Amino acid sequence: MRTAFYISDGTAITSEVFGHALLSLFPVQFNHKTIPFVETEEHAYKVLEQISESFQDSGERPLVFYTIVNVEIRKIIARSVGINYNFLDQFVAPLEKVLGIPSKPEKHRTHSIHETTYDIRIEAVNYALANDDGANLKDYAEADIILVGVSRSGKTPTSLYLALQYGIKAANYPFTEEDMGDMLRLPPGLRRFKDKLFGLTIEAQRLHQIRSERRANSRYASLQQCRMELREVENLYRKEKIPFLNSTRYSIEEISAKILAETGLQRRKY
């Protein structure tokens, strides 16, 4: 199998995202190998050896995706026996022309603690954890968004993703059977913050499957119970005009991007 290397003097996240996006266009399996923090010439030479070995072992020239700020180290990696994609570089000169100023590369500017919004993201993670699962209604005034939905409809991972990636303070509140009685009504603690509510729903069959992995053969996991709860929350969303989306076919990345697009909430990661 051909190896794809992702190499950087930083985290290599940029190389990974670019390389994955490119390789995902091809119906082929690769062996993926990330080498971050290549910060010395000695380390760079070791990486060259790894690339050569991979070529010898597989008989296929490795693909090498790299972004390296240090010029000396970049020159070393550029000599590898692999097929080299220094994909940022060719965009730099044209962009210098457009902006009318020279580029000023600095190590660790992306994905580092020097991002101006780093502390905001960490604070948002702490907020999401403290306000997970309806834990803390009194802090909802601080929330950017409050995700609501039945147990296991995707609220918690989405809250964490919004916090980690975008610095958004997302609380989440689970509607439980106790909230339902005859008919689900919006709890008073939530009604005060109605403008911040965003609903998640999910197909009953999928919810049944997810809950069964947790508590097999329970009433909680039964298809009948899942159907009842979902009917109640969807009725509530419609009645109260709470925007909502069905998470069944979406990843947390997709759910998060859709929520931001629909609510107009601003990313805080720049």
Is 249 annotated in some ligand binding site?
no
* Closest among 103, 175, 77 to 133, alpha carbons compared: 175
Distance CA 245, CA 151 (A): 15
The verdict on 141 binding a second copy (CB under 8 A) reads no
Gap between the Cα atoms of 217 and 232, Å rounded: 22
Q: Does 120 bind a second copy (CB under 8 A)?
A: no
Quick one: how far is CA 181 from the chain centroid?
36
155 is in an annotated binding site: yes
- Partners of 150 in beta bridges: 175
Cα dihedral: 82, 88, 89, 95 (round 10): 160
Q: Are 144 and 169 in contact (CB under 8 A)?
A: yes
β strands within the chain, DSSP E: 3-8, 31-35, 63-67, 83-85, 145-150, 170-175, 197-201, 244-246
Residue in 157, 160, 149, 229 with CA at minimum distance from that of residue 190: 149
DSSP state of 62: P
Minimum Å gap between C-beta 157 and a second copy is 5
Query: Is 264 one of the binding residues for a second copy (CB under 8 A)?
Result: no
Binding flag, residue 216, a second copy (CB under 8 A): no
Kindly indicate which of the ranges 73-81, 123-131, 143-151, 187-195 contains the residues binding a second copy, using the contact rule CB under 8 A.
123-131
Least Cα distance to 173 among 202, 198, 195 occurs for 198
Binding a second copy (rule: CB under 8 A), the pick from 49, 57, 72, 254 is: 254
Residue 138 is labelled as binding a ligand: no
Interface residue with a second copy among 66, 85, 237, 244 (CB under 8 A) is: 85
196 is in an annotated binding site: no
**Which range binds a second copy by CB under 8 A, 92-100, 134-142, 179-187, 233-241?**
92-100
User: Interacting stretch for a second copy, rule CB under 8 A, among 71-79, 141-149, 156-164, 216-224?
Assistant: 156-164
- Tokens representing residue 18 in the block: 């670019």
In the region spanning residues 182 to 211, those forming contacts with a second copy, defined by CB under 8 A, are none
Rounded to a whole number of angstroms, the minimum distance from the CB of residue 138 to a second copy is 17
Q: Does 18 bind a second copy (CB under 8 A)?
A: yes
- Interface residue with a second copy among 40, 110, 176, 205 (CB under 8 A) is 110
CB–CB of 266/246 below 8 Å?
no
Tell me whether residue 22 or residue 81 sits nearer to a second copy (CB atom).
22
- 100 vs 181, which CB is nearer to a second copy? 100
Task: Check: CB of residue 41 under 8 Å from CB of residue 73.
Answer: yes
81 binds a second copy (CB under 8 A): no
Whose CA is closest to 200, among 240, 154, 134? Answer: 154
Binding residues for ADP: 149-156
- Please report, as ranges, the residues that interact with a second copy according to CB under 8 A: 2, 10-14, 17-18, 20-22, 24-28, 32, 34-37, 61, 63, 67, 83, 85, 87-88, 91-92, 95-96, 98-99, 101, 103-105, 108-113, 115, 118, 122, 125-126, 129, 132, 156-157, 160-161, 164, 249-254, 256-258, 260-261, 267, 270
